[in-house]
Structure 1
Amino acid sequence: MAETVADYLLQRLRDWGVEQVFGYPGDGINGIVAAFGDADNVPRFVQARHEEMAAFQAVGYAKFSGRAGVCLATSGPGAIHLLNGLYDAKLDHVPVVAIVGQTARSARGGSYQQEVDLQVLFADVASEYHVEVTVPEQLPNALDRAMRTALTQRAPTALIIPNDVQEQEYTPPKHEFKQVPSSPPSLATGAAVPPPEAIAGAVEVLNAGERVAILVGQGARGAAQEVLDVAKATGAGIAKALLGKDVISDELPFVTGSIGLLGTRPSYEMMRDCDTLLIVGSNFPYSQFLPEYGKARAVQIDVDGRMIGMRYPTEVNLVGDAKATLAAIAPMLRHKEDRSWRDTIESNVERWWSTVERQAMLDADPVNPMRVVHELSARVPDNAIITADSGSATNWYARNLRMRGDVRGSLSGTLATMGCGVPYAIGAKFACPDRPVIALVGDGAMQMNGLAELITLARYRELWPDRRCVVCVFHNNDLNQVTWELRAMGGAPKFEESQVLPDVDYAAFARSLGLGGIAVDRPEDLGPAWDRALAADRPVVLDVRCDPEVPPIPPHATFDQVVAMTESVLRGDPNAWHMISQGVRTKLQELLPGR
């Protein structure tokens, strides 16, 4: 039989080293689905429960593998469902290639079933590159450019193929007018370094500083040692944006942890008091958590010049690879003999971790959610991958989890979309099948789509040499983050009709699928439950009944602000007095330890 366009598409993906495609079938991609069968399912078709989940799985795969994630959907509704996951990739700068079907060319413009203008649909989310393949000769260049653009621009791209084109006989581009060839799939990139005079300008700013702070994001991944070299010379502390949480170990005494609303008090204090700021590979958006304008000189390093100088009035802007640029800077720095700034940072960090432990060990009804991550932090394997969903679970991931060893972690950093935690974990298992994966998920996100993706987890677990994948559910029957946002930002009591969730036995559901299921409703059972889950021979759901009234208090909140917030909800919040008790006791551990 002649090779079809769909056959060639899969061959080209194999040439690019693509090992799996996350997707969901439909008649708009019948030709491609048939080609998977003819190719003995190489690359592997990974069937999600929903196209949005396929996109999230591709994002998770790309985040933890460093390679492009590929997702596949049918025309019309299937393509539309991909959008949220693709926007997640766009906003977090992740390489994902979406391949979507389209109505046959002969029916286009006729209001045919599932006919949607996909080029308009993907114009924003895949703004770096999206194209419709209308003739077979167009395919090699279109696919190769989609892959190369995704990888070099760290962005989602889209390839649209009408279903009649998929079934056509493939013919390569000819050496003639209006035909576009393509080179074999490959990509080699260099480490760009700014010019010497720019490096010298950065060195001058850093050498002049007496109280240097470093902020790292995901763009500093791979440059950890160089960041540490600069910190050693300057006596700086290191704060981390959420997407850079796994870049530097929290075991180091001068690493202040996360920054921002979900951050730590040492990070807040360091940014407040520093006179020099170095930003490496971060587009952290909340400038109110950076130094006040004019109080600190600043240098920024980023590989993407479009993202530089946007968050703080930086004096020196270096467009280049973080590792290579820092390696050029470090030897030129003068070692600071006065270590009083570093000593202050280390003292603040030590006090913070002591505070966090006391807060996590406070009694709650029934389990303190901070303790869930505190107990994990004490036993997380050094090679684990951790995903966190959006919601109140993000607070505890950001503040209570201490990164160490080769632990990797990520979440929907900029889009902050719910429902990514479990599909990210599935993508991570395909990226690193020999590593344990842990997903920290609220019960709202579990009900939104996490329960369905447990089916996917159960289906593919046999493929992974290390089958450990723990989905930890913060079970509080409340859309907790929004509840706290209502209270803190609007001064409004909890509106139960929108906030209360139906009660679900998540552990029992997991067991019905052949997975492990452990239910916890006593704090003393948490540690042993984590031990069991992390030693299991299969994926496990850890269903922890948590107290919804434990407040995620920002590190900059004063005691008076906490009191004012609680007073504002006394007017009608159904759990006001319990909430006040938990909030006051939590804040007291920070202000008056032991109270």
Structure 2
Amino acid sequence: MADRIAADLVVERLRAWRVPRAFGYPGAAIAPIVAALDRAGGDPEFVPARHEEAAAFMATGHAKFTDGIGVCLATQGPSAVQLLNGLYDAKLDSKPVVALVGEDVSGPLGGAHQEIGLTRLFADVCNQFVHYARSAAQVPTLLDQAFRTAAATRSPVCVVLPRQVQEAAVPDLHAYGIGVITATPGEPLARVLPHEVDLAAAAQLLGAGQRVAILVGQGAQDAEHEVVALADRLGAGVACSLLGKPVLDERLPYHAGVLGEVGTRAAAELMGGCDTLLLVGTNDPWTSYLPMPGQVRTVQIDIDGRRVGSRYPVDVPLVGDAAETLRALLARVPDRPSPQWRATVENSVDRWRRELVDRASAPAEPVNPQLVLQELSARLPRTGSVAVDVGSVIYWYARHLELQPGVNAQLCGTLGSMGCALPYAVAAKLAAPDQPVIALLGDGAMQLNGLAELVTVAHHWPRWRDPRLVVLVLNNRDQSGMGAGRQPVTDPAQRRPDVPYAGWARLLGLHGVRVDRPELVGAAWDEALAADRPCVVEAVVDAAVPLAPPEPALADLRGLFADGDAARRVREQVDRQISVAADDIV
């Protein structure tokens, strides 16, 4: 190509790293790269968002749903600042994202329009790699280093590309010794297995357990069969972190569901009753729902050694890939199922599932939000993706939406930022346009940026082979955002403005259904999933339905032990915690 510029090199490196699309918001400082993407004819595709924050969430959503590397573009100043929320989502949930930030600063430093210190701005969120390109010759190697670092560290990175560099003519790269990448994006850099002595110790500890519990996180996503095989061999019960919810088939009779504040009573009971705990690929922050330290012996598997023992004391740490490590354990753990413990777990799960039905059928004004998710669960497509936002919807998703194998669900798990679900859904749909996608969010998240990004959906959907992108908006008009269970706000000034969400969808040429009676919920889902275009289901729900977090495992500890000394030790630990908490309050 004649007159190639460095912006064309950027596109070539994106293509070399098999990046299918880049999300961003165009502006003068990034214009040469956007123009180069346009010349590339969709390989890779440029997807403009309505806001830079949404573009960063789309890039992170792409990484979460595809296990690839997400890419987002922005310009300097406020545009760069607005990338941070989505990039912190990637950092805290360990997902690889490359942020390409354009800068157009001329004149004396410190006085340019929209000039801020980009290196310092991204120093924390992209602490593994933040670099400026100073010349066109640096661009290929710099981008390769950025992608390698993002993949190896499972974190966001940033490359700042001044406009003058983007527009610079491409030199003879061979004179600079520029090479070509050989690694395939997304491939593990190495086979990681624990030491033999640690595997033997873990197998002995697990084999000696009488009441084994397994907690799976997102790091176990490729180890479903190994987790189930080990659970059956030990007669263990299983629970999952919020991010680990899609890992296992939730119909398993011994699957106690999500652990934590948004989770289930059965999962809390499992933690309260076990004597041996296996943590697989989880960095769950709700440690108060884990067994009291000293109650159990613990094995933790994680590919990142920095996380082993960082949340909870561990007897045997295993640094390695989850599936490979579990296979190695299966070869060493004796076949010693505990039928009495397994039956106890299954009875607890059965009780909880019956309680869920009762909760969903409880009267509410006008609609019980738990019913909305319960009815979706019965109709959830067997393949596709679910994107979940932050707010009370997480509670109903965690408990009432039963995920089957083949359904991938993602959320902003560790950062907990509102406004992620619709950008996630766009990324998931663009990655698999032949699969259905469902976004679950509240009216607060919808007003935050969902209304705007519905414009993005309206722009892209005619090219999708499967038009189903269903957006559920739980409209409770609760200004507090997480106020379910409180008395409804009666002061109009304290209520969130009521927006016609389904009407807005219809105005954009999409489908919209409004539900304000419980008997219409099932039919609304049927209509939305049968529509010939994306659909917004607006469910007018009761803000006073209680969130009802389960009691932590500590609530059940005192009566679990036949060993009087063990019971005494646990009581002393609990009493010490209560005393410390009282001192803190004083």
Same structural fold, with TM-score higher than 0.5 when normalized by the shorter chain: yes
C-alpha distance after superposition, 1:215-260 (max 9, x if no partner): 0000000000011111011111110101110000111000000000
1:50 aligns with 2:45: no
Aligned to 1:438: 438
Aligned to 2:140: 140
Q: 1:479 to 1:342 in 2, by over 3 A?
A: farther
Aligned to 1:183: 181
Q: 1:363 to 1:231 in 2, by over 3 A?
A: same
Distance of 2:368 and 2:134 partners within structure 1: 57
Aligned to 1:64: 65
Runs of 4+ aligned structure 1 residues displaced above 4 Å come to 172-176, 179-182, 492-499
Q: 1:453 aligns to what SS in structure 2? A: helix
Return the match for 2:533 from 498, 517, 538. Answer: 538
Return the match for 1:522 from 499, 502, 517. Answer: 517
The 8 Å contact of residues 95 and 156 in structure 1, kept in 2 or not, is answered as yes
Distance of 1:495 and 1:158 partners within structure 2: 47
Distance of 1:555 and 1:125 partners within structure 2: 33
Please report how far the alpha carbon of residue 5 of structure 1 lies from its aligned counterpart in structure 2 after TM superposition. Answer: 0.3
The 8 Å contact of residues 211 and 338 in structure 2, kept in 1 or not, is answered as no
Aligned to 1:263: 263
Please report how far the alpha carbon of residue 496 of structure 1 lies from its aligned counterpart in structure 2 after TM superposition. Answer: 5.2
Distance of 2:152 and 2:172 partners within structure 1: 25
Distance of 2:454 and 2:146 partners within structure 1: 31
Aligned to 1:11: 12
C-alpha distance after superposition, 1:127-179 (max 9, x if no partner): 11111101111111110111111122111111110011100012254556xx7
Percent of residue pairs identical: 48
Distance of 1:515 and 1:493 partners within structure 2: 31
C-alpha distance after superposition, 1:445-498 (max 9, x if no partner): 10111000100011011222111000000011113543359x6xxxx9969578
The AA in structure 1 aligned to 2:307 is: M
Distance of 2:490 and 2:552 partners within structure 1: 24
The AA in structure 2 aligned to 1:141 is: T
Aligned to 1:454: 454
Aligned to 1:278: 278
C-alpha distance after superposition, 1:314-345 (max 9, x if no partner): 10111100000000001211222431110000
Aligned to 2:569: none
Distance of 2:75 and 2:299 partners within structure 1: 46
Distance of 1:191 and 1:185 partners within structure 2: 15
Distance of 1:337 and 1:115 partners within structure 2: 64
Q: 1:483 aligns to what SS in structure 2? A: coil
* Mapping 1:101-116, distance limit 5 Å: 101-104=102-105, 106-107=106-107, 109-116=109-116
* Mapping 1:258-407, distance limit 5 Å: 258-407=258-407
Q: 1:108 to 1:383 in 2, by over 3 A?
A: farther
Greater shift, 35-44 or 254-263, is seen at: 35-44
The 8 Å contact of residues 29 and 73 in structure 1, kept in 2 or not, is answered as yes
Distance of 1:143 and 1:427 partners within structure 2: 22
Unaligned runs of 5+ in 1: 561-595
Distance of 1:62 and 1:82 partners within structure 2: 15
Distance of 1:82 and 1:528 partners within structure 2: 39
Aligned to 1:20: 21
Aligned to 1:580: none
Please report how far the alpha carbon of residue 39 of structure 1 lies from its aligned counterpart in structure 2 after TM superposition. Answer: 2.2
* Mapping 1:484-563, distance limit 5 Å: 484=484, 499-556=494-551
The 8 Å contact of residues 215 and 240 in structure 2, kept in 1 or not, is answered as yes
Aligned to 1:237: 237
Please report how far the alpha carbon of residue 535 of structure 1 lies from its aligned counterpart in structure 2 after TM superposition. Answer: 1.3
C-alpha distance after superposition, 1:550-587 (max 9, x if no partner): 010011189x9xxxxxxxxxxxxxxxxxxxxxxxxxxx
Q: 1:36 aligns to what SS in structure 2? A: helix
Distance of 2:108 and 2:103 partners within structure 1: 9
Please report how far the alpha carbon of residue 115 of structure 1 lies from its aligned counterpart in structure 2 after TM superposition. Answer: 1.0
Greater shift, 165-174 or 542-551, is seen at: 165-174
C-alpha distance after superposition, 1:487-537 (max 9, x if no partner): 6xxxx9969578510011100000000000001001110001101111111
The AA in structure 2 aligned to 1:21 is: A
Q: TM-score, normalised by structure 2?
A: 0.91
The AA in structure 1 aligned to 2:111 is: S
The AA in structure 2 aligned to 1:313 is: P
Q: 2:243 aligns to what SS in structure 1? A: helix
Aligned to 2:158: 158
The 8 Å contact of residues 419 and 446 in structure 2, kept in 1 or not, is answered as yes
Aligned to 1:33: 34
Q: TM-score, normalised by structure 1?
A: 0.90
The 8 Å contact of residues 20 and 44 in structure 2, kept in 1 or not, is answered as yes
Distance of 1:37 and 1:377 partners within structure 2: 41
Aligned to 2:254: 254
Distance of 2:282 and 2:159 partners within structure 1: 29
Q: 2:284 aligns to what SS in structure 1? A: coil
Q: 1:52 to 1:363 in 2, by over 3 A?
A: same
The AA in structure 2 aligned to 1:94 is: K
Q: 1:35 to 1:185 in 2, by over 3 A?
A: farther
Aligned length: 551
Distance of 1:110 and 1:396 partners within structure 2: 49
Q: 1:140 to 1:496 in 2, by over 3 A?
A: farther
CA RMSD between the two structures: 1.9
The 8 Å contact of residues 419 and 450 in structure 1, kept in 2 or not, is answered as yes
The 8 Å contact of residues 369 and 396 in structure 2, kept in 1 or not, is answered as yes
Q: 1:471 aligns to what SS in structure 2? A: strand
The 8 Å contact of residues 138 and 173 in structure 1, kept in 2 or not, is answered as no
Please report how far the alpha carbon of residue 182 of structure 1 lies from its aligned counterpart in structure 2 after TM superposition. Answer: 5.5
The AA in structure 1 aligned to 2:345 is: I
Greater shift, 278-287 or 335-344, is seen at: 335-344
Please report how far the alpha carbon of residue 18 of structure 1 lies from its aligned counterpart in structure 2 after TM superposition. Answer: 1.0
The 8 Å contact of residues 511 and 534 in structure 2, kept in 1 or not, is answered as yes
Distance of 2:99 and 2:504 partners within structure 1: 32
Q: 1:30 aligns to what SS in structure 2? A: helix
The AA in structure 2 aligned to 1:324 is: E
* Mapping 1:218-237, distance limit 5 Å: 218-237=218-237
Q: 1:186 to 1:85 in 2, by over 3 A?
A: same
Unaligned runs of 5+ in 2: 556-586
Greater shift, 461-470 or 276-285, is seen at: 461-470
The AA in structure 2 aligned to 1:281 is: G
Distance of 1:496 and 1:94 partners within structure 2: 42
Distance of 1:494 and 1:182 partners within structure 2: 61
Distance of 1:414 and 1:337 partners within structure 2: 34
The 8 Å contact of residues 239 and 256 in structure 2, kept in 1 or not, is answered as yes
The 8 Å contact of residues 280 and 300 in structure 2, kept in 1 or not, is answered as yes
